Chains A and B, each alone.
Chain A
Amino acid sequence: MIFKFKIADIVFEADIRYRYTYSIMKDFLADDSEESLFAFEITDEDLQKEKEFSPHELSDPMYESTAVYRKYIYRVMRDYDAFFFHCSSIAVGDKAIMFTAQSGTGKSTHRGLWLKNFPEKVRVINDDKPIIRKIDGRFYVYGTPWMGKEGMGENIRVPAYALCFLSRSPENYIGPIDTASIVAKALNQTVRPKEPELMGKLLDLLDGFISHVKCFDLRVNMDDDAALTAYRGILGGTNED
C-alpha cells in the first residue's frame, strides 16, 4: 500500500506492505493536501539487502522499515541537504543537544540522566536516528520514526546547538574536542554513499554541521552528576536558570 509521509519537512510516498512499518511511521503521515516530492517502493531485493546489512537476524517487517529509512536517506541527502546522524538527541528549549558514540557506550543512559534531573526542561527529539537538515544556512535536528530500543522521540524540529562525543569515564568531564577527530568520528556515525559526488555532498554537509554546532568531548559515568556536569558545560551557569 502507498502512504504519504513527512519526515524532516520532506513529503514523500512509500509503497510498503507490512503493518509494522506503518505502525512505527504513522505519527509521520503527511497531510493529503501536501504535495509529495518523490516516491519509492520497497522491493524483495531491498529486503534482501537489509538482511545482508543487518548484524542481527530480524524479521521482514523490520527489514522493510530500515529499507524505507535507507532509501529516504540517500534521496534526501542528494536533494534536500539532509543526512542521518546516529545519536541520542534532546531539546532544552529551542536548543538541540546531541550525544553520539558507538553503540553500547551509553547514549540512551546519559539521555535518561538528563530526563531524570531536568524533567521539566528536556524533551527527547530522537533517541537513535534523527535527521539533520540544513535550511537557509542553519542546521536543524528532526525527529524520525526510527527511535531506538526505548522508542523515545517526537515528530519535532529543533535548531542544532551542541554535539557531544560521549565516552565512559569514572570521573565526569566536559571540554573542547580536537577538530580532526571530530570529522572522523562524525563520519563513523552516518551512512556513507558509494557515489563520489554524493560522498562529497555528505562531507560538505558534515563540515558545515560541525562548524555550526558547539562540539564537546563528554566523558561520563552513570551518576546524576554526569548530567549536571554536561548541562553546565553545554548551557552554562547553574541549572536553576
Chain B
Amino acid sequence: MKIKDGFMLRQFGDDYIVVAVGDGSEDFNKLITLNSVGEFIYTQLKKDMTKEELTEAVIDKYEVERSVAERDIDVFLENLEKAGLLDG
C-alpha cells in the first residue's frame, strides 16, 4: 500500500497538513492535519510497503511495543483509507 499521488504535505510549526493538488484537488477539498508520528507514517507510505514493514519502521523509530504500534497504525490507516489517500 502507498499514498496516492496528488497530495502535498507541509509543516506548520509542530503540525503537518496534507492537501490535494493536481486533478484530484477538485474531488478532494478536505484537509488533513497530522502530528509528527502521523507525518512519519505518511512519509513512509510515499513508497509502497506492506503493513508489516510499516509496523517494523514505527517500532524502530519510536521504540514502542508491537501491540501498541499495530493498534495505532490500524487506526491511522483506517483514517487514511476513509479520506481516500491510500492506494492498495
Contact = CB atoms under 8 A, between A and B. Distances in A.
Given A192-B29, A199-B21, A180 B12 contact: yes
Contact of A196 (B15, B22, B29, B33): B22
Interface residues of B, number: 17
B3 to A, nearest CB: 14
A135 interface: no
B15 A183 contact: yes
B8 interface: yes
B79 interface: no
A195 B20 CA distance: 10
B12 A196 contact: no
Interface string A149-191: 0000000000000000000000000000001110110011000
A194 interface: yes
B21 A187 contact: no
A179 B31 contact: no
A interface, by DSSP: helix, strand, loop or mixed? helix
B36 to A, nearest CB: 12
A2 interface: no
A207 B8 contact: no
A180 B17 CA distance: 8
Contact of B8 (A184, A200, A210): A200
A203 interface: yes
B33 A180 contact: yes
A180 B15 contact: yes
A187 B33 CA distance: 12
22 contacts: A179-B13, A179-B15, A180-B12, A180-B33, A183-B17, A183-B33, A184-B17, A184-B33, A187-B17, A187-B19, A192-B19, A192-B20, A192-B25, A192-B29, A193-B21, A195-B22, A196-B8, A199-B19, A199-B25, A203-B10, A207-B12, A210-B12
Interface of B: 8, 10, 12-15, 17, 19-23, 25-26, 29, 31, 33
